[in-house]
């Protein structure tokens, strides 16, 4: 193991270069900060490379209306983010927000979904959220290829999707143009307060993982996905995160027929059909299981019969970054001011907020009141007596 002095001053170090870290880093650099991103990369657990790419608002926020408002805000600002990325990175992220459907395959399922969304939007402050509960005929009028098994659908005009790998690349490319020092394969192992800022220790090198270094930064943003659970206590924060596996199937390309995203099915800008909304709590296992894939495929074919003729070209699983209640954790440390944790399970949906709202707030040194509910202090419940 070698020890090297690789110190470098950064205004802000962002730990983690997934879609959340890349978005924050870009937003911070746009504010004028000198930003270094230290990213595990190279095979480390990473949700950003395996997601479903929805910008999704319907169904978000039952139990925490602030999350519904936060998701809607990001969906609204996504139009600006897509234009910004085109402008600054020269990359078209295939952003499309025509509204999304949740198709239901039985009356009981439609009833359950309709009840859930009614409860969601009856919460304080959400009265102006629009959605529709559609019967089969109306669903078919809007989605002519839908099969006879679809009894109806929930529709929300806010929902959309993107090409998420291009999003990730665009965030990084725009960041590079703004001078972000992105370091792949730099795994952070320690964060210590130092001279009003932080000294961050990492090991680096794809082929020589024993190579150590440190950088000094005025502030530090923990955006390391599941890795935040280990990092947060180093700066007096908590990120009680658990992995939740999701499996995804992709078919061969086919002629465009599905112009709206669905909760579990969408046609990509390149023509393939992505299928997947599984949720499994099975630790860090990333295996693809035929039993889950078979259920997803069967549901997809019952939704659109034409899918039965398509070949599956790929399937994979990835681990969602889940807090105990499923909502984001955004917090600045009380004991270590200047250290922030940012983590969520909808990093695509919230990318616009992360670039345009959260990063400027971190740059200014204070999180906005609108995200106060996302502090991890909500998990500090007094013991039951
Ligand atoms: C199956 C699936 C479907 C999804 N679908 C959607 C969707 O449709 N819409 C949506 O909005 N979101 C979706 N998501 C969630 C979205 O992908 C995540 O919110 C997002 O990827 C989380 O991003 P992240 O950057 O926080 O974490 P990650 O993508 O996991 O990235 C974390 C990064 O931190 C690095 N890291 C970890 N520890 C350290 C360390 N100690 N030092 C340095 N670096 C470290 C890792 O190497 C990694 O690069 C989905 C996720 C999954 C798994």
Encode pLDDT of 95-148 as tens digits: 999 999 999 999 999 999 999 999 999 999 999 999 999 999 999 999 999 999
Q: Distance of alpha carbon 2 from its chain centroid, rounded?
A: 36
In the reported structure, the alpha carbon of residue 21 is separated from the centroid of ligand 1 by a whole-number distance in angstroms of 9
**344 ligand 1 Cβ < 6 A:** yes
Whether the pLDDT of residue 2 is over 50: the answer is: no
DSSP E strand stretches across 242-285: 242-251, 265-267, 273-275
In the reported structure, the alpha carbon of residue 106 is separated from the centroid of ligand 1 by a whole-number distance in angstroms of 33
Residue nearest to atom 41 of ligand 1 (CA): 188
- What pLDDT, on a 0 to 100 scale, did the predictor assign at position 287? 87
Torsion angle of alpha carbons 341, 343, 347, 352, nearest 10°? -30
Mean pLDDT over residues 42-62, rounded?
87
Question: Rounded distance, CA 26 to CA 319, Å?
Answer: 24
Q: Which atom of ligand 1 is nearest to the CA of 228?
A: 38
Number of Cβ within 10 Å of residue 309's Cβ equals 10
Residue nearest to atom 38 of ligand 1 (CA): 227
Which residues touch 357 (CB under 8 Å, ≥6 apart)? 73, 77, 368
- What pLDDT, on a 0 to 100 scale, did the predictor assign at position 330? 98
- What pLDDT, on a 0 to 100 scale, did the predictor assign at position 383? 58
**321 ligand 1 Cβ < 6 A:** yes
What are the residue boundaries of the structural domains of the chain, listed by start? 2-50+166-240+327-379, 100-157, 242-322
Whether the pLDDT of residue 241 is over 70: the answer is: yes
Check if the beta carbon of residue 132 is closer than 8 Å to that of residue 155: yes
Whether the pLDDT of residue 49 is over 90: the answer is: no
The overall average pLDDT reported for the chain is: 93
> Please, which pLDDT band fits residue 262 given cuts at 50, 70 and 90?
very high
Give the helix/strand (H/E) hosting 107: helix 107-121
Q: Which atom of ligand 1 is nearest to the CA of 247?
A: 1
DSSP 345: S
> Please, which pLDDT band fits residue 8 given cuts at 50, 70 and 90?
low
Class of domain 2-50+166-240+327-379: alpha beta
Radius of gyration of the chain (CA): 21
Q: What are phi and psi of 25, to 5 degrees?
A: -60, -45
Looking at domain 242-322, does it have CATH number 1.20.120.160? Answer: no
Residue nearest to atom 47 of ligand 1 (CA): 40
């Amino acid at each position: 193991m070698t020890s090297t002095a690789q110190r470098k001053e950064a205004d802000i170090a962002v730990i983690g270069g997934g879609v959340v870290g890349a978005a924050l880093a870009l937003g911070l650099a746009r504010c004028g900060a000198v930003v270094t991103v230290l990213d595990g990369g190279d095979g480390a657990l990473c949700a950003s490379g395996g997601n479903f790419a929805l910008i999704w608002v319907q169904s978000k926020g039952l139990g925490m209306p602030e999350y519904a408002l936060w998701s809607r805000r990001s969906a609204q600002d996504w139009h600006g983010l897509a234009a910004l990325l085109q402008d600054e990175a020269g990359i078209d992220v295939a952003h499309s927000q025509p509204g999304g459907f949740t198709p239901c395959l039985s009356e009981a399922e439609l009833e359950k979904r309709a009840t859930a969304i009614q409860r969601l939007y009856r919460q304080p402050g959400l009265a102006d959220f629009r959605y529709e509960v559609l019967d089969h005929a109306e669903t078919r009028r809007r989605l002519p290829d839908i099969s006879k098994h679809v009894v109806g659908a929930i529709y929300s005009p806010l929902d959309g999707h993107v090409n998420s790998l291009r999003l990730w690349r665009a965030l990084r490319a725009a960041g590079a143009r703004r001078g972000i020092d992105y370091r792949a394969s730099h795994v952070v192992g320690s964060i210590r307060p130092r001279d009003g800022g932080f000294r961050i220790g990492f090991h680096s090198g794809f082929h020589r993982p024993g190579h150590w270094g440190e950088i000094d930064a005025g502030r530090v943003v923990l955006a390391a996905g599941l890795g935040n659970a280990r990092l947060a206590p180093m700066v007096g924060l908590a990120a009680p995160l658990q992995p939740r596996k999701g499996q995804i199937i992709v078919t061969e390309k086919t002629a465009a027929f599905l112009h709206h995203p669905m909760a579990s099915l969408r046609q990509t800008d390149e023509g393939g059909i992505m299928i997947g909304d599984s949720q499994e709590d099975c630790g860090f296992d990333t295996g693809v299981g035929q039993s889950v894939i078979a259920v997803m495929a069967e549901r997809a074919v019952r939704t659109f019969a034409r899918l039965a003729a398509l070949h599956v070209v790929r399937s994979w699983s990835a681990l969602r970054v889940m807090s105990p209640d499923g909502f984001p954790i955004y917090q600045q440390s009380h004991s270590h001011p200047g250290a922030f944790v940012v983590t969520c399970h909808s990093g695509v949906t919230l990318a616009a907020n992360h670039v345009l709202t959260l990063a400027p707030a971190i740059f200014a040194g204070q999180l906005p009141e609108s995200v106060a509910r996302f502090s991890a202090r909500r998990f500090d419940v007094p013991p039951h007596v």
